[in-house]
Amino acid sequence: MTMGPSQESVKNQLQLADEALSDAKYLLHDNRLKGAANRAHYAMFHGASAALSQASIPAPKKHKTLISLFYHQFVETGRMPRQLHRDLVKAFRLRQQGDYEILSRFGTDEVREVVEMAEAFVAEVRRLVGV
C-alpha cells in the first residue's frame, strides 16, 4: 500500500515559507537588503518544497535540483505559471550573489520586487496544494 503525500510535511514547509517571507519583509523594512533577498529566496524554496511534497516527491536539498524538479513537475505540465519559475530562478541568483559575492550591492527596488515575487509564489503554491 502506497501512502499519499504527507500533509504534515506540506504544512511544515509552508510554515517555513511564511517565516522566511516575514523575515524578508522585516529585513527589507530595516534596509538589510542582502538578508531580505536571502530570506525571500528561502520562502520560495520552502514553497516549492511544499508543492513537491504534495506531489509525493521528496524535496532535494540542492537548490538547482529543486528548481529543475519544480519546473518539470509544475511548469511543463501547466499546473503553475512559467513566470513563477522565472521568479524562483531570479531569487536564487540574487541570493547566491548576496551570499557569495562579497562586494555585491542591491538596490531597494530590486529587493522589494523579489520579496513581492516570493509573496506571490507562496500564495500560488498555497492555491496549488489547497492549504
Q: Which residue has the cell 513581492?
A: 116
Q: Is the pTM higher than 0.75?
A: yes
**Percent helix / strand / coil, the chain, rounded to 5:** 75, 0, 25
Neighbours of 79 (CB within 10 A): 11
**pLDDT (tens digit, 9 = 90+) per residue, 39-98?**
999 999 999 999 999 999 888 889 999 999 999 999 999 999 999 999 999 999 999 998
**pLDDT (tens digit, 9 = 90+) per residue, 103-121?**
888 899 999 999 999 999 9
Domain covering 7-129: architecture: Up-down Bundle (1.20)
